[in-house]
């Protein structure tokens, strides 16, 4: 489960493994996960090494 902020809902939502729509590996350690909030909004979450690094 992820607790992520949904800008469309305007608050944090809980997304389970079934809410993962897409996982895009951009290389350079940057992975973008597209989650589906319970209300159906797509939420992009940056993860991976590059998202943790400054810059
Ligand atoms: Zn939402």
Domain residue limits at 36 = 2-52
The tens digit of pLDDT for each residue in 1-55 reads 889 999 999 999 999 889 999 999 999 999 999 999 999 999 998 988 888 776 5
Question: Separation of 41 CA from ligand 1 center, angstroms?
Answer: 5
What is residue 13's predicted lDDT score, i.e. its pLDDT? 96
Question: Separation of 43 CA from ligand 1 center, angstroms?
Answer: 8
Question: Separation of 9 CA from ligand 1 center, angstroms?
Answer: 4
Q: What is the pTM of this model?
A: 0.76
Question: Separation of 11 CA from ligand 1 center, angstroms?
Answer: 8
Are residues 3 and 16 in contact, defined by beta-carbon separation less than 8 angstroms?
no
What is residue 54's predicted lDDT score, i.e. its pLDDT? 64
Q: Into how many domains does the chain fold?
A: 1
Are residues 33 and 45 in contact, defined by beta-carbon separation less than 8 angstroms?
yes
Sign of the CA dihedral running 38, 18, 24, 51:
positive
Question: Separation of 14 CA from ligand 1 center, angstroms?
Answer: 10
Sign of the CA dihedral running 14, 46, 31, 39:
positive
């Amino acid at each position: 489960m992820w607790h992520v902020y949904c800008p469309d809902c305007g608050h944090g939502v809980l997304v389970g493994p079934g809410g993962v729509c897409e996982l895009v590996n951009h290389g350079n350690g940057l992975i973008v996960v597209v989650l589906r909030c319970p209300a159906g909004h797509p939420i992009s979450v940056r993860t991976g090494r590059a998202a943790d690094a400054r810059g």
